[in-house]
Every structure is written in C-alpha cells, then in structure tokens.
Structure 1
Amino acid sequence: MPYPFVLPTTSSFSFSSSFTSESHPSLPLQASTHRGVVRDTLKKYKRLPPASQASSLSTVASTLQTYIPYLLALDAGLSPKGSHSADKPSVTLTATPQIEWRPTLSGSSLPGREPPRVKIHSLEHEILFALSALANTHTLQSRAALQPLYLTTTAPVGTTQRQTAITTATRHLLDAASIYDYLCARLSLSPAAAAQRPPCPDIAPSTLGAMRSLALAEATLLAVLKDDPYPAAVAQARNPHDTEWMYKSPDVPKVRAHLFARLCLAAAEHASQAAAGLASSSSSSSSSSSLTSSGLGSAGKVNEGLVRYVEDLRRTSRARACRFFGIDAELGGETGTGIAWLRAGLGELGIERKGDERKGGGLKGLRKEWSEKREDKKVERGLDWGADGGRLEETRVLEMLEAKWVKQNDTMLTQPIPPVGPLLAQMPSGREIHTIKPFHPPVLDSDALEAMRAPPDAPDEVGNYPSSDEDTAVNPIPGAFPGVSGQSRSGTPGYF
C-alpha cells in the first residue's frame, strides 16, 4: 500500500502537424518541445532498475507539470472564436492528431509482455493521459515515502520520522485524488468530451472515478496508521536490527479505537466504490469489443492485479475496523468480545478460525513464513511490495493480539466468546476525515504567452524521433548481421 502503479510511455508527436496558432505561432512548437522532454523522461524512468526509480519520481512529476500548461493552452485555444480574450491564444485544428500511449491499467497481453499501445486522435485524451500519469506519479511518491517504515534490514525509524513519512505520503495521495476528481469533473462538464469513446479503460470516466476513490481510501487508512501503534510493534518484533526489546517493551499507547474503526469502514466504502468503477470499465470495454476493428473502442480489460488489490484493500479495511472494535471492547474489560472481533477480522481476510485454533504449523506454517520472507525481500528491493492491500500486515497484527488475548482469557478471565455474526451486524457507518481539495491545473503566465507571439525560430521536428520504447539508435556495422552495432559490449569498436 499504496498501489504500485506502472507509469505509461508515449510516442513522439509534433503539435505543428495538427495545430496552428495565428495569435501565438510558437505555441505548438513549445508544446512539442516540452512533450518530448516528458516522453524522454518516462522512457528513462521505465528503464531504471526498481531500486533507482523512486529517486527519479520528482523529475517525472516536474516535467509533467511543466508540459501540462502548454497542453491546456492549446486546448483552451480550440474553443469558439467568440470566447477568446486578448491573452488567450487562438488555435486551429488542421489535421487529426495521431498519438500513441501505452496503457498500464488495462490491455490484453500475454504474461511477461507489455500491453499494446493505443492510438488517440483527440487533444482531450492526451490531457487525460498526461494528468493521469501525474496522479500515478504522486501515488508512487507516496509509496517511496512509506517504504522505510516496512524495512526489516535496518533499524526501525523513530516516531518523528514515522509521522513525517505518513504525513508526506498522505499529502501525495490527496494530490492524486484531487487530480482524478478534476478529470471526472472535466468530463462531466464537457458533454462532447464525455461522448468520445475512450481508446482504453485507463482513461474511461468510470476508471478515473475508481482511481479517485482508491486514492481516498488509501489516504484514509494512512490517517489511521499515523496513530496506530500495533503495526509498528509487530514490525519491531520481527526486525533483527532492533535492540530496544533488551531494556523496554514496545510502547502501545491507548488509541481512539471506536473513531479509528469508523475511519476504516469509510476506507472500505471507498474501496467498494473503486471496485464497482473498475468492474464498470471492464464491462464497458467488453461490450465495445466489436468496435475495436473499426478503431472506435478497445477490448482491453482492467488488469486483474489492480482489481485484486482493490478487493484486498476493502477486506483489509474491514478487518482493521474489526480489530479496533475488538481493542475498544478489550479496553472496556470485555476480552471475550474482543477476541470475537479479532476472529471476525480474520474472517474478513479469508482466514478461518475454529474454536481455539492457534497459529498453524507444518506445511501451512512453512508456506506462510515463506510468503512473509518474500514480501520482506520485495520491500528491500523496491519491487511491488504491498500489492496485497496490506492483508499480510493486518493478519500479523490480528494473530498477535488473538494469541495474547486468548492466553489472557484462558488463564485469568475465562469470559465466553460470543458468535461473530451478531457483531458484524452491529457495525456502524463509516466516518470521513479527508476532503478532496480542488485541483488547480498549472497555467502559463502572461510573460510566457507574450513570448510565443513571435514566430518559431526553428522547425518542429519532434515527430521524427523514434518510439519511446525503442533503444537509442546506433550505426550498424557494414556487412554484419542485423542487430549488431558498431560498439561491442565492452565499449571497444567492433570488427568484422
């Protein structure tokens, strides 16, 4: 958590081939130049090893934020002539744009292969792809801020660092949610844009709404994690580099359990809305598969990994709510009811408990230990850790508390454990904590617009660059086999 998005890549494109501006002749060239920088940045980011990608996210976000004002200026210039003001460019569409993007949330491809690129012929779809890439970059920045909290190969972070990391991650998630909210509002306010059939589910209105709900669900859970001491205590017990246990036990302060439970239920509701949006996107793309051959639709479906993550996040949110209801009951002296809530949480995660069954051993225990070690390796290497929506982490906390409370109840309290069903029926509604702030897209200042009134000083040749998925072109060796370049792997000239 949050979801490990893959950033898209795009083809080269010259805006001068499809747009002209009488009032600002240099605007298409400037837009092409900044789009070329975005394309090159996304290409370089994609080829970096996973451990090095986090440090390049700020560069990706910066280039997108620099390009988007030029893109929006072109879009604003396409509005009817009567709406143009003195500082607003006048843009004319001269030919249908031919742009390619490689989707990352959808596409029917074989395992291990990238989905095919889709062609877009609208400036509106270019805006949707660019802003969606910026939103996903914010989500990845949130993951980068949270990664140190889950490392077990170094000493655990302090309380201040933990609070700072969670606050930073929450801010990035809310920024992503505001961008998706802006895109949804943009499509709803523009019937012509909403009527255009999306080339893939990545930029479908239902998918954009689902991504907004997903970011809000993850931000809500982070608000709980900020004051939740139990995941940190479990991670501290598993960290071999932690030596604090030698002189003191982990601090587990009292929490506002009932409030946190309702926040988790709100996160579960947002995750349910995200799941419904993704299901709508997949069904819509399936119904339009007959139009794919004519170029009017795409038969791709939303990736199963994303759909599974959203469902796991919903389950984790409800299980966490059950844990806090159990903590609230245990603080009130009702240990038996608290144990029942913990088992209800395990049931939400798909883990069944029968009677006083303890942590399983044998093959089941080995399989669980192996999956935990594999997840720790993913965190260390910066891979797709947390792709289970936090299920493994919450399972550890629930099992730790269950073992502790069952032992306490068996030896001292001997309270009866009530059935789980009536407890789940008494769950209240969720409570919101975050409000999505309006996203204000970056715009060009008056000086930049005034400078583009001059004619371009060079031709727009951005469209002559190779695809973003091709390697840098090198001169082949004359007479050699195809694919052999003039440089050997050691860097010395090749011979033939």
Structure 2
Amino acid sequence: MFAFALPTTSPASLAASFISSSTPSLPGATTTRRAVFRDALKRYKRLSPGEQAAAVPAVLSAAEEYLPYLHTLDAYITSQDVTTTGSEFETEWRAVLSRRTGPAEAPRVKRRGLDYEVCFATATLAYAHVLRARTLLAIALQSPHSDSSSSTSTTASSSNTKDTNTSTAESTINQATQHITTAASIFTYLHTRTTTSPRPTPSPPADTTPAVYTALASLCLASATLLAVLKQDPYPSLVALTHDKNSTEWMYKAPTVPSGVKALLLARLCIYASEMASKAAAGVTAGAGAGAAQSTPREELRVYCDDLARTAKAKACRFLAVDAEAQGKGRLGEAIGWVVAGKEILGLTVESEGKGKVGRGLEKLKKAREKRKIEKGAAAAAEGVLAADAGRMEEAMVLGELEKKWRRVNDSVNFETIMPSSVLLPRLPTGRPMFPERTAWTPPKLSSAELAQLQDQTASGSIADTDWLRADDSADDDDNVSTAAGSVSGGFPRGASTGYY
C-alpha cells in the first residue's frame, strides 16, 4: 500500500462566507473543527518520519470530528438552508499527489468554493486510513514469536505462545484490511462526487480528478486483496528466516504450504489484485494532463502501481508453481517454469541455455547485481525501512530460493524439461474479486441532537471569534522537515527477522 503524504492547509473561516437560517452556529462551529483538523495536520508534518505513525490516529480523530460539520454544511447549501454572505469561500491545500516543481514540497493549490474543501478534507481522511493500515501491518509483521532459546520454556508452552501471537497478528491484519477498504470506499465516493458535480475553472489539481480517485480506489482494493493472501502465504517468512542468523524459528514445524484448490484460489486473488493495480496505473496515466505541474500526478504513484501489479502477478505464478511441485508425477519442470515466469514478470534475469561465454558472463553480472539489490532490500527491512517497490524485491527473494531448491533436485534426480513461460503464462487463471469494487462511502452528517444544539445557539460574534483563522500563516507549514535517511514514499512494510509471513 502506498505511503501517502498528508497535506496541510491554510486557515480559512467558513463563518465569514456562509450563514445559516436554521442553524445559525453551524458555520462557526465548522470553522472551529476545521482549525483543530488543520492543527493536527501541521503537528503531524512537523514530526519525524519515525514519530508520524503514532500521530495518525490523532489525525483520523480530528478528521472524523470535522467532516460531519463540513458535509452537513455542504448539504445545507444544496437545500438552501445555508447561503453565502457575498464573500466567496477560498481555501488552499497542498496537492500531495501532483507532480512537484521543487525538490521536496508539494505545490500549493488555492481554489474558490466549498467543493475543493470537501474533496481535499475527505481525501485526507482516506490517506490517513491507508497510513494507519500500514502501521498495523508493520505491527503484525514485527509481532514477537515464541522464544525457543529459553531453557525453562517447554515445547507445549512455546507452541501455545506462537499460536497466540499468530492469532494476534491475524487480528491486526484484519484491522488493517478494514482501514484500507474504508479508504477505497472513500475514493469511490469522491469519484462519484467529482463526476456528478460541476467543476469550476481553472482546471482542478491531480489530487481531485475523477481518474486519480478511481486509480486510488483500485489501488486500495489491490492492497486489501493482497493482505488477505498474505495471511495464507508462509513463503516470505520462511525465506526471511533463512537469511536471519539469529532466528530459532526453524525449530518449529514449518507452516503448511498452500496447494490444490487453496493454491488456485490464492493465485486467482493475486491475479485480481494485479488487474486492480494495473487499472490504477492506467488511471494515474490517464490523469496526467498537459497543463501545469499541479494537474499531473506524481510519477512515483504510477511506478508503484506498476510494481504492485507485477508483484501480484508473480505471486500468482508462485502459487501455481507450488501446486505443481506438490502434485509430483513429473510436474517439477512445470513448477520451475512457473517460477521462471514469475521472475520474468518482475523483470529479473533468468538462466538461459545455449549462450556463449560473453552472454553467460553478462548474465552472471546481471544476476549478481540483482542479488545485491535483494540483499540490500533485506538489510533495509531489518532496519524497519518501508519498501517503495510494493514488495517486488521480497517476492524476487522467494522466487529465487524456490528456483535454486527445485533446480538442484531436477538437475540431480528428476531431469525434467522446464516448460517455457510462453506456454505457461496463457494458462494463468482469471482473477477472483474478494471485495466489492463500487461500495461508496456515506458522508457523515450531524445528528438531530447536535443540530438542535446549534439551533439554540446564536451566531452573533461567530465571525469575530473566528476572524483570526483568516490570517494567512500558511507559510509555517513549510518548515524544513527533513526526511529520515532511508525513508521512502511507498510500499509494504517488511520484517526480515521476525516477520509473521
């Protein structure tokens, strides 16, 4: 799942632009909640990357308090219970998904009307849900396992502890899935809103275009589907353990590898995730405009979607390879062929026959370079760095271990012909959806009791009370917040030594 950057916004007073006949205090109360939300975003930005994960729940809470007021105000404008005072509302947000003209900061976008405020604020809630899902996933991957090195612990108690930790990790993954599917439904709602409501000129930034909203919804569905697959996939953890000299996990029985119907189901889920990620990459490309930089999505987002599509498809090939190897009966050559196909999808070098000395030498250099990149990725994962390649290098590590193991057996025992990928790839199954694609989020509104409180209050002095919010101090969110060394813009959290998967 992509690591979104949360935007910041300038101060703005809705009480100065809107008045309500039925709920006089609604514009002022909305302005107050917006100030709290803005402050939470600014506090989040000032934190170091390592501290930001712990601050995401505060941003979620502030957004969930502000959005009911904002969407109620927006609905009242439609029903004409809220009218303008003559001073048109104007807001400024940082377009975090737009192409950046400078080395670090996202461009500022100032637009008039409440529509952009609704789109940016609601999308920020979705970004925060994705970031919370990333944090929960990292917690699950780093969950402690039973300490088998303790001399006083028995085998039974160690097994029970491991089962408990496994259950906790699965529960955490389920929470992450709920956050990511909520983000997908929010992006679906925003796509519907932006396609049905008129968009004023000038052209909207890439962050608020229907094509980008569709792409982000598809990307979230792809990530959620892979989370479901991840719970049933033991290979990444098994390969990680082979590269961890301090691990004692090998003392326990290895998890049962998926085969048969289960392997086919997981492969179909991976194919669906790959299709959704490819759809997201196409949507980001379609959202690229020929105008200003703020109308063009960031290239990093498209690259991440493409990497996720490749990784998911390579996972599908791996599950089919595992199933073929488990069936036996002369199917080891097919299993190796599926592994080779997966590596080709990832863009990795595979072994070839019939090459001269120069060709073999170049191939060895390429394979050595790829191995160094994989090992570097594993070392980065041990330091808790988030991967920007959507798990591509981790999947390459798994495929490489399987290929090495099976080729050794085939070259010494089976001597089966390896099936070419050109024959196997057309046999990939169709994708199977796990979550509904068109589930739209329902905007929260104020309850009748909350509206009654706003009706009882008077609007006198509301503009004066919030006049300080209109001061343009947005420059203070340009603090030179340096990115921690090694931090990256997106990817799946990995755990090299104690990963659950």
- Could you say which residue in structure 2 is the equivalent of 1:293? none
- Could you say which residue in structure 1 is the equivalent of 2:443? 441
The residue correspondences of 1:303-452 to structure 2 (distance < 5 A) are 303-333=298-328, 334-355=331-352, 365=368, 368-369=371-372, 372-373=375-376, 376-377=379-380, 380-381=383-384, 383=385, 385-436=386-437, 437-452=439-454
* Residues matched between the structures, number: 447
Specify the code of the residue in structure 2 equivalent to 1:69: P
- CA deviation after TM superposition for structure 1 residue 471, in Å: 6.5
- CA deviation after TM superposition for structure 1 residue 363, in Å: 8.4
Q: 2:98 aligns with which of 94, 103, 106?
A: 106
Unmatched runs of 5 consecutive residues or more in structure 2: 148-161, 354-359, 480-501
The residue correspondences of 1:167-316 to structure 2 (distance < 5 A) are 167-188=174-195, 190-193=196-199, 198-245=203-250, 247-248=251-252, 250-255=254-259, 256-282=262-288, 285-286=289-290, 288-289=291-292, 299-316=294-311
1:276-303: CA deviation from partner (whole Å, max 9, x where unpaired) = 1111110xx21x44xxxxxxxx654211
Q: Quick one: percent identity of the two aligned structures?
A: 37
1:55-84: CA deviation from partner (whole Å, max 9, x where unpaired) = 111110110011011111111111244xxx
Specify the code of the residue in structure 2 equivalent to 1:109: T
Q: CA RMSD in A?
A: 2.7
Q: 1:406 to 1:370 in 2, by over 3 A?
A: closer
- Contact residue 230 and residue 252 of structure 1 kept, 8 A: no
Q: 1:263 to 1:135 in 2, by over 3 A?
A: same
- CA deviation after TM superposition for structure 1 residue 316, in Å: 0.6
Q: Matched residues in 2 for 1:339 and 1:363: separation?
A: 20
Q: 1:379 to 1:65 in 2, by over 3 A?
A: farther
Q: 2:115 aligns with which of 118, 121, 124?
A: 124
Specify the code of the residue in structure 1 equivalent to 2:296: K
Q: Matched residues in 2 for 1:4 and 1:372: separation?
A: 23
- Contact residue 336 and residue 416 of structure 1 kept, 8 A: yes
- CA deviation after TM superposition for structure 1 residue 125, in Å: 1.3
Specify the code of the residue in structure 1 equivalent to 2:334: T
Q: 1:153 to 1:239 in 2, by over 3 A?
A: farther
Specify the code of the residue in structure 2 equivalent to 1:417: I
Q: Matched residues in 2 for 1:374 and 1:152: separation?
A: 20
Q: 1:165 aligns with which of 169, 172, 181?
A: 172
- Could you say which residue in structure 1 is the equivalent of 2:52? 53
- Contact residue 59 and residue 128 of structure 2 kept, 8 A: yes
TM-score, normalised by the number of residues in structure 2: 0.83
- CA deviation after TM superposition for structure 1 residue 355, in Å: 3.1
Q: Matched residues in 2 for 1:178 and 1:152: separation?
A: 29
**Alignment partner of 2:449: what SS?**
helix
Comparing both chains, which one has the higher relative contact order based on Cα–Cα distances under 8 Å and sequence gaps of 6 or more? 2
Q: 1:310 to 1:122 in 2, by over 3 A?
A: same
Specify the code of the residue in structure 2 equivalent to 1:322: C
- Could you say which residue in structure 2 is the equivalent of 1:95? 87
Q: 1:217 to 1:395 in 2, by over 3 A?
A: same
Specify the code of the residue in structure 2 equivalent to 1:332: Q
Q: 1:451 to 1:153 in 2, by over 3 A?
A: closer
**Alignment partner of 1:118: what SS?**
strand
Q: 1:149 to 1:406 in 2, by over 3 A?
A: farther
1:402-423: CA deviation from partner (whole Å, max 9, x where unpaired) = 1111111122221111111011
1:234-276: CA deviation from partner (whole Å, max 9, x where unpaired) = 122233442122x345334334111111111111111111111
Specify the code of the residue in structure 2 equivalent to 1:345: G
- Contact residue 322 and residue 344 of structure 1 kept, 8 A: yes
- CA deviation after TM superposition for structure 1 residue 97, in Å: 1.6
1:99-157: CA deviation from partner (whole Å, max 9, x where unpaired) = 1000111133222x202200111211111111111111111111101113555999898
